[in-house]
Amino acid sequence: MHKAGFVNIVGKPNAGKSTLLNQLMGEKLAIVTQKAQTTRHRIFGIYNEPDLQIVFSDTPGVLDPKYQLQEKMMDFVKDSLQDADVFLFIVDVTDKEIPSEFLTEKLNKIPVPVLILVNKIDKSNQEELEKAMLFWHQQIPKAEILPISALEGFNTDAILPKLKSLLPENPPYYDKDQYTDKPERFFVNETIREKILLNYEKEIPYSVEVVTELFKEKESIIFIDSIIYVERESQKGIIIGHKGEAIKRVGTQAREDLEKFFAKKIHLNLFVKVKKDWRKNERDLKNFGYR
């Protein structure tokens, strides 16, 4: 008997969705930063055992869209609300702001099992955790609740057996040696974007999109050319920095991560270009893969 299904990770920005995906997969598939709205796409992590295939999906955090890019991000979330066999709804135990009513309402309506993961308990205490567990039980009574730390891997090994018992009998959806739906270039783009999120402030990271134009793999080295698109000329200077120091730092940090990810030496060239107001331009967004 073979079980297979889609397990969709949903939650507010910064709750720890991508950290959880990486922890469950034992591999860094999704970029993680302390900034909200790090994830912009829907990313599949495909977990395989001889008699089991779980297709995890990481999604952007649920928010109220203010511009077209964010609308496209929410389209990915809407997709993930359509095709789940099980939901992993991840909430931050230390989050004092109002919860996402949109998600709570949806998850209550959809006749699919929900596992609520109360995350970041390493930063919390017993009292706060008990309060959160009670609160979430009242919000979504049908859900099972599990306290975890996605970062430290606390209780995360309890998730797989639970999912296995909930998933239907199905043949695998993907080849059993495939572990993601995304091409190599996607991971290059995302790694560079992660370093940009980490190295620049305010609007800069949110105004950046990365496109890899060359990915040429040789036996012992990969040659990569990537373009960093910004929205305005003034942002180009900030990305490059004084004497090119800022972009050099991004390049070095990205190369180090990519050498680990691909287990090969990497030669990385970065270029900066302006694509005016791309976040609000339907055609640019489409070209960048936001449909």
Q: Which residues bind ligand GTP (CB under 6 A)?
A: 11, 13-19, 32-34, 36-39, 60-61, 119-120, 122-123, 149-151
State the Cα–Cα distance between residues 56 and 73, nearest whole angstrom. 17
Under rule CB under 5 A, residue 23 binds Mg ion? no
Among ligand GTP, Mg ion, none, residue 123 binds (CB under 5-8 Å by kind): ligand GTP
Under rule CB under 5 A, residue 53 binds Mg ion? no
Query: Helix, strand or coil for residue 4?
Result: strand
* 8 is known to lie in a ligand binding site: no
Q: 76 or 200, CB closer to Mg ion?
A: 76
Note the helical H segments in 117-205.
126-139, 159-166, 184-199
Report the 10 Å Cβ neighbour count for 7: 24
Q: 118 or 285, CB closer to ligand GTP?
A: 118
User: How many binding residues for Mg ion (CB under 5 A)?
Assistant: 4
Under rule CB under 5 A, residue 39 binds Mg ion? yes
| Residue partners of 182: CB distance under 8 A and separation at least 6 | 29, 41, 43, 44
Under rule CB under 5 A, residue 207 binds Mg ion? no
Q: 36 or 112, CB closer to ligand GTP?
A: 36
Contact indicator for 162, 144 with CB cutoff of 8 Å: yes
Q: Which stretch binds Mg ion (CB under 5 A): 35-43, 166-174, 253-261, 270-278?
A: 35-43
Q: How far is the CB of 103 from ligand GTP (least distance, A)?
A: 12
Contact indicator for 239, 204 with CB cutoff of 8 Å: yes
Under rule CB under 5 A, residue 119 binds Mg ion? no
Choose which of 18, 80, 189, 226 interacts with Mg ion (CB under 5 A).
Answer: 18
Beta strand ranges found along 70-203 (DSSP E):
86-92, 114-119, 144-147
Q: How far is the CB of 101 from ligand GTP (least distance, A)?
A: 17
Under rule CB under 5 A, residue 124 binds Mg ion? no
Among ligand GTP, Mg ion, none, residue 45 binds (CB under 5-8 Å by kind): none
* 12 is known to lie in a ligand binding site: yes
Strand (E) or helix (H) holding 261:
helix 245-262
Among Mg ion, ligand GTP, none, residue 226 binds (CB under 5-8 Å by kind): none
Report the 10 Å Cβ neighbour count for 101: 10
* 244 is known to lie in a ligand binding site: no
Query: At CB < 8 A and 24+ separation, what contacts does 95-103 make?
Result: 95/12, 95/15, 99/12, 99/139, 100/11, 100/12, 100/62, 102/62, 103/10, 103/11, 103/12, 103/62
Which residues contribute to the annotated binding site for GTP?
11-18, 58-62, 119-122
